[in-house]
């Protein structure tokens, strides 16, 4: 497999959908496989909320539906995740709490520049992803409908629901209540806030049945408290302002909230030309199957598949449920192995 090292696409100063500017913007990305002479084998994998190009490697590989031996895989980090431009690595005056509001529209606009300016890609075979990465797949298909052949968002939605928004307000409040957060001007990590964020987050990432049935033991934890402590330790590795920057992006996710569609959500959904298979987890508390059912009715060429599982949103986390991996790969194969055009 031909794999690039982590690279950075320097975008310069970019004007955002909000009207603010992100100075010296950069997208961090990694590629796997080779772009063929016709440049028609590109598969784009954006990153999810706590993801990176490294975590994305769990969604493809030799013999998988997305296989670098056949596909040119571009794994691109979302703004705010610490690899691409983020509060933690931006220069004054847009660093820390002064980092501007970034939309999914902004992310996709810059990803489009990456694919077109660096690789000369004019058609994307597939955009796929879990959670916020799947939200970006929807955004791609609406923002550049003639460029995207297929999308497969899983455990995601085209617009953040009011209930999802409220959940995010809860984790945000837990983090920012730490007196050491200091409105984002902290000198050392607000550890109490990060731990509280993790504990609230874990309650929503898995379903009620997951905890009731003791499925946390499948992950090596004896008790729910063991799982919570593990999540605390993991979130201590995150910069608080980075988490909040991506959280704002998540909360404002809406494929119609831009000049192309003027807030007309139905129009944005109906404009998607890409062949679409969306996968929902039956017990996902963030991106519910009910939201996806409303979306699929308004799309031209879309199908919703619901995976029955007590694992909630985290059913899609690589390694959690091997059967889900097979379910996902089967759907991806239908999209990448079929002549869509």
Which residues are part of the catalytic machinery?
A: 131, 284, 313
The whole-angstrom distance between residue 190's C-alpha and the CA centroid of its chain comes to: 25
Residues 147 and 122: beta-carbon distance below 8 Å: yes
Give the span between the Cα atoms of 240 and 192, in whole angstroms: 11
SS3 27: strand
Nearest residue to 341 via CA among 180, 186, 146, 96: 146
Nearest residue to 244 via CA among 194, 317, 192, 180: 194
Residues 190 and 177: beta-carbon distance below 8 Å: no
Residue 69 to residues 38, 52, 62, 63, 64, Cα–Cα distance (Å): 16, 22, 7, 9, 10
Residue 42 structure tokens:
């590109």
In 33-172, beta strands by DSSP E: 42-46, 72-76, 126-130, 150-154
């Amino acid at each position: 497999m031909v794999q690039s090292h982590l690279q950075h696409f320097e975008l310069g100063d970019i004007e955002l959908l909000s009207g603010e500017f992100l100075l010296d913007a950069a997208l961090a990305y990694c590629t796997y496989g080779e772009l063929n002479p016709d440049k028609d084998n590109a598969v784009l994998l954006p990153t999810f909320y706590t993801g990176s190009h490294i975590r994305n490697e769990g969604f493809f590989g030799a013999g998988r539906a997305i296989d670098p031996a056949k596909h040119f895989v571009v794994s691109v980090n979302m703004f705010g995740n610490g690899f691409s431009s983020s509060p933690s690595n931006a220069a004054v005056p847009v660093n820390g709490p002064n980092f501007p509001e970034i939309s999914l529209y902004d992310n996709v606009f810059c990803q489009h520049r990456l694919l077109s300016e660096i690789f000369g890609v004019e058609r994307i075979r597939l955009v796929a992803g879990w959670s916020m990465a799947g939200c970006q797949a929807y955004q791609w298909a609406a923002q550049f409908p003639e460029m995207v052949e297929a999308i497969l968002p899983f455990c995601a939605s085209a617009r953040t629901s009011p209930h999802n928004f409220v959940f995010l307000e809860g984790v945000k409040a837990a983090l920012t209540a730490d007196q050491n957060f200091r409105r984002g001007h902290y000198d050392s990590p607000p550890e109490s806030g990060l731990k509280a964020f993790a504990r609230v987050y874990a309650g929503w990432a898995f379903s009620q049945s997951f905890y009731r049935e003791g499925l946390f033991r499948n992950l090596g934890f004896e008790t729910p408290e063991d799982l919570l402590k593990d999540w605390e330790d993991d979130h201590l590795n995150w910069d608080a302002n980075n988490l909040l920057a991506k959280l704002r992006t998540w909360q404002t996710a809406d494929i119609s909230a831009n000049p192309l569609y003027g807030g007309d959500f139905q129009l944005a959904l109906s404009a998607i030309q890409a062949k679409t298979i969306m996968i929902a987890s039956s017990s996902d508390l963030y991106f519910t199957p009910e939201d996806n059912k409303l979306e699929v009715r308004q799309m031209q060429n879309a199908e919703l598949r619901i995976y029955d599982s007590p694992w909630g949103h985290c059913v899609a986390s690589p390694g959690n449920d091997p059967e889900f991996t097979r379910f996902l790969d089967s759907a991806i194969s239908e999209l990448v192995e079929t002549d869509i055009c």
